[in-house]
């Protein structure tokens, strides 16, 4: 199965996966703080930015759960809550900084949806393969 191969690869190159997770956090921060007019346009697809938020935080949740070996429920809750607080911080900064961005509750909801979907994937598939 492809997922099993990905987990084996992540085990083998854990430092690389950790580095990728940190880079992913930085990518999210930059994409969410830079002026909106500097971002690529979605070609008129309504609410495409919500899909982007979902995907960004879905990937971050999965990477974080793998990297931090979050197997205990309390560790998962702490980790995912930390990611959500990070996303809240980013949204608040959008409302404060003068870059033409605004706080959006629907962005926050999309972020949370991505985080929870990442947890669901981790619980159903990834967590069944031991990460060393």
In a domain, 42, yes or no: no
Instruction: Place 14 in a pLDDT band, splitting at 50, 70 and 90.
Output: confident
Q: Tell me, yes or no, whether 40 lies in a domain.
A: no
Which of 127, 103, 104, 113 lies closest to 83, judged by CA? 113
pLDDT of residue 4: 67
Per-residue pLDDT band at 67 (split at 50, 70, 90) = confident
Confidence at residue 70, expressed as pLDDT on a 0 to 100 scale: 62
Element (H, E) at 56: helix 48-67
Residues 57-79 have a mean pLDDT of 86
Total domain count for the chain?
1
Are the CB atoms for 101 and 95 separated by under 8 Å?
yes
Please give the residue range of the domain that contains residue 13: 2-32+47-128
Number of Cβ within 10 Å of residue 22's Cβ equals 11
More confident residue, 127 or 86: 86
* Residue indicated by tokens 């346009």: 41
**Angle at the Cα of 75 (from 69 to 76), degrees rounded to 5?**
80
């Amino acid at each position: 199965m492809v997922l099993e191969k990905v987990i084996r690869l992540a085990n083998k190159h854990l430092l690389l996966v950790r580095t990728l997770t940190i880079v992913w956090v930085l990518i999210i921060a930059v994409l969410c703080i830079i002026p909106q007019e500097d971002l690529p346009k979605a070609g008129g697809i309504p609410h495409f930015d919500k899909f982007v938020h979902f995907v960004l935080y879905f990937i971050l949740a999965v990477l974080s759960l793998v990297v931090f070996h979050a197997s205990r429920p309390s560790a998962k809750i702490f980790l995912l809550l930390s990611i959500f607080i990070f996303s809240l911080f980013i949204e608040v900064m959008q409302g404060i900084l003068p870059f033409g961005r605004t706080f959006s509750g629907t962005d926050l909801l999309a972020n949370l949806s991505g985080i929870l979907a990442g947890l669901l994937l981790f619980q159903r598939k990834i967590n069944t393969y031991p990460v060393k």
